[in-house]
Structure 1
């Protein structure tokens, strides 16, 4: 992909890699940015979250010199693949900032001409109070328009001067059980997943039916223990009655 004049690009890359390597890989990307210097690369944001055992999410965002953005992204991908990670998503979007700047420049020029006209009207000595109030209201609106166009042009120029890039990291493999080049690994992953599901189901059933089952078992044992005594007592009672 080649750079286009006047187009502001935004890069987003998503990686999946072993959880124990996320922190070191994130730090390697930080070091690569710092090595370039703040004039060419700046860290704009960073996050690292431990969501559970071996479950990690992380993020790193940069502001890059547009001339080096593409190569920086490629080097970032290479660092991930070097530690058995995988690029799972990549998105590059572009905005025609040059055309937006041209449009804003035209709006600014028209607003400036209108401001010049209104100032000329306000300079006339024979204005009524209502006419002067109306012209001053128009002048305030024009000044707000000029200020807004100047701010927007500055934002568009900044988007051309720096390129945002975001790396997101997630623990795990790229797509579990989908790698046809490693059938044994995929089969093992599938088997482990099935065992985990089975254990979870069994534990769930124990949690739901365990307490009632214990009560029923204790009642049955008590019945087994005391029933013979009851039968003997009944037999003696029947013998006494017959005598």
Structure 2
């Protein structure tokens, strides 16, 4: 009955604010709670069969991680992501906790977002089903769904067996210490073995606590991907991009012209100065004298 109530509360979180409040305030076995469960939307019910997952009763001791990828319009991602966060908040921190939220607009003007939850294993699959229903309501689709499981229960059993063996050995060694008749070196060796075994027992207990925590909560990750706008150009404005390219190209050309002009200006001034001197009256007269023919020397007539 408890799992049924949690599923109804999750569905109400995605249907409407008034129904959310009714599910939150209703006691665990009240008629209002049962009515809330029956009011689960058809969309959520139809999607439930499409959600991969395994009931906790069918896989005891297995820790599951759920991962979903949703694709929808970029401008709807933030709203849907907020809806999923509010649905988790309605369940309470004992059953659902938000551990990470990310929203990013990449260089291609495409939205990518992610929300990670820690959920009571009994409601993880239902939570995913209701999330898919809300995505479909926002005209999005489920692009990918993955469920990864690890047999943590077997690891816990093996750890308990190792701990039992280590504890028995500690008890045996402590019995030898109490019996007495040991020299100083033997006593020190036994104390060292007991300390090492107790350290091993502590490590095993810590590992079991981590494994038990994995079984007690299921990681659920929602990845949101934008549709990317028009094929080939995303959400970019091609006219704005063309104008930006034109301005960039024009600026580059102007910069090149100014650089070449600055490099050539001294030589142009030098050539202009030479041309001015070449056409000056002084140089004109000098060139005229150089061009004047030299008179030839005449031979005097012979004496008579």
The TM-score normalised by the length of structure 1 is 0.74
Structure of higher RCO (CA pairs closer than 8 Å, 6+ residues apart): 1
Counterpart position of 2:166: 111
Measured against aligned partners, the alpha-carbon deviations of 1:40-81 in whole angstroms (never above 9, x if no partner) come to 222223344566795554432211111211121122233234
CA distance in 2, matches of 1:89, 1:214: 55
User: Which structure 2 residues correspond to residues 5-84 of structure 1 after superposition, within 5 A?
Assistant: 5-49=60-104, 54=109, 56-84=111-139
CA distance in 2, matches of 1:24, 1:113: 58
Cα shift at 1:230? 8.5
The structure with more strand, counted as a fraction of residues = 1
CA distance in 2, matches of 1:186, 1:46: 28
Cα shift at 1:83? 2.6
Greater alpha carbon shift after TM alignment, 160-169 vs 127-136:
160-169
Counterpart position of 2:231: 186
CA distance in 2, matches of 1:57, 1:236: 75
CA distance in 1, matches of 2:262, 2:157: 85
- Native 8 Å contact 2:64 2:218 kept in 1: yes
Measured against aligned partners, the alpha-carbon deviations of 1:157-182 in whole angstroms (never above 9, x if no partner) come to 22111101122335x316x7xxxxxx
SS in 1 for 2:179: coil
User: Which structure 2 residues correspond to residues 137-216 of structure 1 after superposition, within 5 A?
Assistant: 137-170=192-225, 172-173=226-227, 186=231, 189=233, 205-206=249-250, 208-216=252-260
CA distance in 2, matches of 1:110, 1:232: 109
CA distance in 1, matches of 2:176, 2:240: 81
The alignment of Structure 1 onto Structure 2 pairs a total of residues equal to 232
SS in 2 for 1:42: strand
Structure number, greater radius of gyration = 2
Measured against aligned partners, the alpha-carbon deviations of 1:7-45 in whole angstroms (never above 9, x if no partner) come to 110112234444433332221111111222333222223
- Native 8 Å contact 1:11 1:165 kept in 2: yes
- Native 8 Å contact 2:116 2:222 kept in 1: yes
- Native 8 Å contact 2:74 2:227 kept in 1: no
Can you give the 5+ residue segments of structure 1 that lack an aligned partner in the other structure? 177-184
Can you give the 5+ residue segments of structure 2 that lack an aligned partner in the other structure? 1-52, 290-304
